[in-house]
Structure 1
Amino acid sequence: MSLVLNRRTLLLGAAATLSGCDRLARNEQARELLFSAENFHKWAQRSLMARDAMAREFRPDQISPFFRPNGTANPNTPEYRALWRSGFADWRLKLSGLVGRPLSLSLAQLHSLPHREQITRHDCVEGWSAIGKWRGVPLSLVLDAARMSDKARYLVFKCADLMGDGRPYYESIDMVDAFHPQTILAFALNDEPLRVANGAPLRLRVERQLGYKHAKYLMEIEAVDTLSGIGGGKGGYWEDRANYDWYAGI
């Protein structure tokens, strides 16, 4: 028998667990922090599920016939068009910030690293979903090569697409999701190189979160100890602009 946990069951279960925590309940500051919608959701999911719990993986015959693009379908900036025309030969993924060894990796170098394949479901905040087969480098391998500092708490993913207000798209995750085995830097979808609409040449797949967290058109990953000085300080473009949850676990 399988157990399906969604946001509602997580919240109800966590609420029952907390009912006996009288000392915590009497601490007003702790209650305010814990019971904010976002923090409570993250606490509930991480408390009731193992840190390395896997998102469901599917069979090849369950792959969707068409994988609809989410968010931007083409950055269409002069810089991106130049990279695309060269087959992304001049593209580099930079790793910066709180690392002992900053990196600048070509697409060929990423292709040469050990990779992982996974067939997972993409759930979009707009209400649609699609199942696809992703291939890419486990993010943990790249982070280990960059020698992450113990002070790093978050990874910020900087992207090539400019949004309607002219601001670049960005997202962030914490180290629990960064080192999760299903978190990969994907360069292929359904055994084909990523199309522009799906995030070429490289996108994040963080399978336990909603689609807007899966940053496309990656250009740089920065390791930081706080999100407060980045963008609007809430950890992502839509978090800043539309009050989306920073933690979008499913």
Structure 2
Amino acid sequence: MSTPRRQFLRLAAGMLAGGALAGCDRLSDNASFTGFLRRAQYLSRWAQDLLTGPDAMAQEFSEDDITSDFRSNGTSMPDSALYRELANAGFRDWALEVDGMVRQPLILSLAQLKALPSRTQITRHDCVEGWSAIAKWTGVPLSRVLDLAGPLPQARFVVFHCADPMDGSDRTAPQSTYYESLDLREARHAQTILAYGLNDAPLPVANGAPLRLRVERQLGYKHAKYLMRIALVDRLDGIRGGKGGYWEDLGYEWYAGI
């Protein structure tokens, strides 16, 4: 992503986040501003595809490049009684649900996910806040899980539901938790994985244990942590705020290509 566009995104993100914290999210309520962001993201994706191709790989690095400490950003321990119970038991009873527009709904334990063919990649995480870090991630390619579930022909998007409550008075309600989404093309990209390992160790709670999304060609807010459920859908406008993700509902771009 070009430097001016990256700077613009960081500025917009900071302004949105600050407004939300103050209870006065004027930018996210401004139809002209959010409309501009939505139009810009499609131009950005078209340009990226034109320059690099739809299957282009994000840069991968060597072990010598790994950042000494991969920081925890945002939530480091979900404020959820259910999640804490699962974590205290070493995620023995945790399972990933895969449902929606699929031929075969799935419930996969962590052990079952680890038994699937895996991929390890050393990549750079770029945050919209302005920091980057390089780490080694190990997990199962999302495409393998999708193949097991068998998306129906009308399925177009993959929605990731997390254990991380973000807002609302009922912090156990599904509408209060973090969520994200990808289209099927990005979901099936070779570097899009469900990661359970970080730097040759089990994924720490602070970084999204037991399972997080890695979508290496997009900015950090797309990399949903604390995964609980994956649903395949034909459209996004009927889910929560209708923009395809927690931050997107507040005005961020849905396509956050780097």
Which interval holds the TM-score relative to the shorter structure?
A: 0.7 to 0.9
Any idea what SS the aligned residue of 1:237 has?
Answer: coil
Q: 2:47 aligns with which of 44, 47, 50?
A: 44
| Inter-partner Cα distance in structure 1 for 2:56 and 2:132 | 21
Distance in 2, matches of 1:189 and 1:74, equals 17
Q: Which residue of 2 aligns with 1:154?
A: 157
Matched, 1:6 2:14: no
Match of 1:190 among 187, 199, 207: 199
Amino acid at match of 1:160: A
- Find out whether 1:213 has 2:222 as its counterpart: yes
Q: After superposition, where does 1:159-178 map in structure 2 within 5 Å? A: 159-165=162-168, 166=171, 167-178=176-187
- How far is the alpha carbon of 1:50 from its aligned partner? 1.6
Matching residue of 2:247: 238
Further displaced range: 184-193 or 156-165:
156-165
Q: Return the index of the structure with the highest Cα Rg.
A: 1
Please state how far the C-alpha of 1:103 moved relative to its aligned partner: 0.3
Query: Counterpart of 1:127 in structure 2: which amino acid?
Result: G
After superposition, give the CA deviation of every residue in 1:83-127 in whole Å (9 maximum; x if it has no partner): 001110110100011100000000000111110000000000110
> 1:203, CA displacement in angstroms?
0.2
Match of 1:54 among 53, 57, 75: 57
Give the alignment's TM-score, normalised by structure 2: 0.83
Structure 1 match to 2:76: 73
Tell me which amino acid in the other structure corresponds to 1:247. Answer: Y
Alpha-carbon separation, structure 2, partners of 1:6 and 1:149? 37
Secondary structure class of the residue paired with 1:44: helix
Distance 1:7 1:98, change over 3 A: farther
Q: Deviations over 1:50-92 (max 9, x none)?
A: 2110000000010000001122111031100110011101101
Report sequence identity in percent. 61
Whether the 8 Å contact between 2:167 and 2:177 is mirrored in structure 1 is no
Gaps of 5+ in 1: 10-31
Aligned mates of 2:182, 2:3 — CA distance in 1: 19
Q: Which runs of 5+ in 2 are unaligned?
A: 6-34
- Paired with 1:149 and 1:48, the residues of 2 have a C-alpha distance of 31
Return the match for 1:249 from 244, 254, 257.
257
1:48 Cα offset (Å): 2.1
Distance in 1, Cα, partners of 2:93 & 2:39 = 44
- Cα root mean square deviation, aligned: 1.9
What amino acid maps onto 2:129 in structure 1? Answer: E
Aligned AA (1:108): A
Aligned to 1:135: 138
Instruction: Name the CA distance, whole Å, in 1 between partners of 2:192 and 2:185.
Output: 10
In the TM superposition, structure 1's runs of 4+ consecutive aligned residues that sit over 3 Å from their partners are: 5-9
